[in-house]
Structures are given as C-alpha cells and as structure tokens.
Amino acid sequence: MIEFSGVGQLRSPVVVAAFEGWNDAADASSAAVEHLETVFGARVIGAIDPDDYYDFQVNRPTVSGVEGAAARKISWPTTRLSVARPPKSDSDLVLIRGLEPNMRWRGFTDELIEAVHALGSDMVVTLGALLADSPHTRPVPISGTAGDPVTAARLGLEASRYEGPTGIVGVFSDACARAELSSVSFWAAVPHYVANPPCPKATLALLRRVEDLLDLEIPLAALPERARAWERQVDELAAGDSEVAEYVRSLESREPETALPEASGDAIAREFERYLRRRGQ
C-alpha cells in the first residue's frame, strides 16, 4: 500500500500517468509527464515500494553524492506519485511516472487503483509512445482511445480494439475499467528510423492532446523550439543519406498532407483556440 504525505485538499483531481520502458518509444510519454511535473511545480506525495515489483539486476539503483555531506545516497527505481495545481484550472493533477515493473503486474496496478480511489479521482489519462512508419516531417500522429463505451461516447473517442502484446499502460487501463474508473489513453507514433530519445516533437504532440482533453493551458517553455530543432537535425540526417531521404519520401507519399487528421477543420479550430488562449484572449 502506498503511503502518502503532504497531499492536502485536492480539487476534482485527474490522473495523468506514463511509464518508461516498452510503452515509451524515445521516452516521449514519460517526458510529457515529467514536463507537467516541472512546469506546474508538482510535489511528490508517495511512491510504490520497489522491492515488490522491480528486478534490481535489470533496473539497477543509482548512487550519488549529497551536497555538503560525506554520505552517499542510493536512489531506487520505482514509480512515484506527485500532485500539481495548474493555475486557471478547477482540477488538480495527480501525476504518475515511473518504470514498467518487472514482476507482479496485477499487484502493481492494484496499488495504483487503490491510490487513485484514495486521492478522490475518477478520471485516468495514460500516455504512451510506439515506433511507427511515420515521417518526421509530418505532425506526429496521436491515437486516442477510451477504456469504456460511455467515456468513448462522451469524449468522441473510440473504444480500444487493439489485440496483441501489451505493456503496463494496457494493463493499468484494463484495471481502471474493472474498477469503473473513466480512462483515456493517448499514444504518439514516433518515426522508427529516429528512435533514440528524446523526441520532443512527440512529447509536444501528447501534451497538446492533454491540453485539449482537460481544457488546460500547459506552459510549453522551450519545448516547441526543441521540437523544431529535432526536426531540423533529422532533416540534416536525411540530407546526408540518400537511402533515408528516399525512405522518408516514400512515407510522405502514402498519404497526402491535406488528408491528414491535423488538416481537418476541427483540428485547425482547436489549434486557433489554443493560440488565442496562450495570448490571454
């Protein structure tokens, strides 16, 4: 059972979760939750006991010095929960970020579900990222699904129809459905030919979907410029390798840019509303 400290009174909390590992191509989804922790000044309120769920020969603890002291500190791999209070929002955020567990996944998700109930949340948003045949020159495709038909209808999403191997995000989403919690999952498609982290363009795309879902203004800081710099670097990579350049062109030719979901009237309207909101209008 997770022990909490310094929680305070939460206002209609919404959970946003991401896990490093199989669900986190180029670290895009865990970086999105880390960004939320940073820009909203989140404070850690609890952590899962790592002894029960992690193999320390696979995910090793790290040692570091303590400033002003001769002692050394061991940091154990785990999953932490933090809370943040975004300004101009009626809801607080409960942020879950950690590692996909090595064992006892059902016990792991049971602890998280118990924590969600204890913190008074009835809405869970999970973020993931996968490698895909997607060109880096186009907007990052984001797929969104809901964990139950009622949530899907309310938010205009589809119920998940995926069949095949799954990771902790899928297991946690299933646990939310069994616990009768509303859940939504957003996945970014990261170009597989530039799979090394980070991928700020995918992180930015996930954060924009969280903004739209929660009607929340997320300070982006330097993330948009980092996304542009990432795209320029991949452009340079492709320019120096004819095979990569040809492959990118073949991906682009599969679907005209005007046919992309991001070119729809609704998508353009959302982007314009986001622009006005950031200008304070």
Q: Tell me the CATH number of domain 14-278, given options 3.40.50.10900, 3.40.50.2300, 3.20.20.10, 3.40.50.300.
A: 3.40.50.10900
- Alpha-helical runs (H) found in the chain: 28-39, 105-118, 149-155, 168-178, 200-214, 223-239, 242-254, 265-278
| Residue 99, CA distances (Å) to 18, 52, 61, 226 in order | 9, 13, 12, 25
116: nearest Cα among 96, 131, 143: 96
Q: Which pLDDT tens digit goes with each residue over 55-74? A: 999 999 999 887 776 678 89
pTM of the model: 0.89
Tokens of 132: 């895909």
How far is Cα 89 from Cα 248, in angstroms, rounded to an integer? Answer: 41
Q: Which residues pair with 19 in a beta bridge?
A: 98
Tallying the residues shown for the chain, one arrives at 281
Question: What is the biggest distance separating any 2 CA atoms in the chain, rounded to whole angstroms?
Answer: 61
Locate tokens 């154990």: which residue? 76
Q: Looking at the predicted structure, is the pLDDT value of residue 148 above 90?
A: no
Q: What is the pLDDT of residue 162?
A: 84
Under 8 Å between Cβ of 141 and 188: yes
Q: Which pLDDT tens digit goes with each residue over 186-235? A: 999 999 999 999 999 999 999 999 999 999 999 999 999 999 999 999 99
Indicate the average pLDDT of the chain.
91
